[in-house]
Each structure stands twice: as C-alpha cells, then as structure tokens.
Amino acid sequence: MEQMRINPVDQVFIDYESETISPYVYTFRPVVYEDGNAYCCILGPDREAGVFGSGTTPKDAMEDWEKHVQELIAGPKRNSSTAQFIIDNFKRFLR
C-alpha cells in the first residue's frame, strides 16, 4: 500500500505504543501532520484514495480518521488499495 509523503517538518510525533492510542491507530499507524491551523491524519496515497481525518488537535484528527475507518469497514466497499489493506488487516485484527 502506498503512503502519502509528508514533509517531516510537518509531521507530528505519535507514540503508537501509548496505552491511550486506539486499536485502529495502533494497528494501521496513520501519519499525523500539521496543515495550517489544522491537524490531519492519513493512511494511503492521498485524501481521495486513502482514509483521511482532520481536527483542531492531533487527537481530534486521529478520532476523525478512526470514524472514517469504521465507516469504511461497515459500509459499501471502495475499490482502492488502501480500503483493501484496511479490510484485510481488520479481519486479522478481529482474530
């Protein structure tokens, strides 16, 4: 799966091993970055083909991203490599 390239200066450090990290963020490790006054969270090559979330804090962005992951898993399946990656790994996550 291709991941969007983010300028390292804009990336926000996330401790994916923290006990406060959700299982979805821990499993998929999306990139969190600053974009102006907002924080963004993405897994995939871009906002359209990937799963994207945003918010006023890194936590808000990850929560929005997780909401979109849950919608992807529960709803009609998109035909993209990111969607397939999430669905395949989500099945393993449930075992």
Whether 18 is covered by a domain: the verdict is no
Task: Indicate the pTM of the whole model.
Answer: 0.84
Structure tokens at 84: 């397939």
Structural domains counted in the chain: 1
Q: Is the pLDDT at 95 greater than 50, yes or no?
A: no
What is the extent of the structural domain holding 32?
Answer: 23-94
Please indicate, yes or no, if residue 47 is contained in any of the structural domains.
Answer: yes
Could you tell me if 25 and 16 are in contact, meaning their C-beta atoms sit under 8 angstroms apart? Answer: yes
Q: 27 in a domain, yes or no?
A: yes
Q: How far apart are CA 45 and CA 48, in angstroms?
A: 8
70 within a domain of the structure (yes/no): yes
Question: How do residues 1-21 score in pLDDT, each as one tens digit?
Answer: 789 999 999 999 999 999 999
The confidence score (pLDDT) of residue 90 equals 72
Residue 4 lies in a domain: no
Q: Is residue 79 part of a domain?
A: yes
The string of pLDDT tens digits covering residues 22-75 is 989 999 999 999 999 999 999 999 998 899 999 999 999 999 999 999 888 877
Indicate the pLDDT class of residue 76, thresholds 50, 70 and 90.
low
Is 11 within a domain? no
Q: Is residue 66 part of a domain?
A: yes
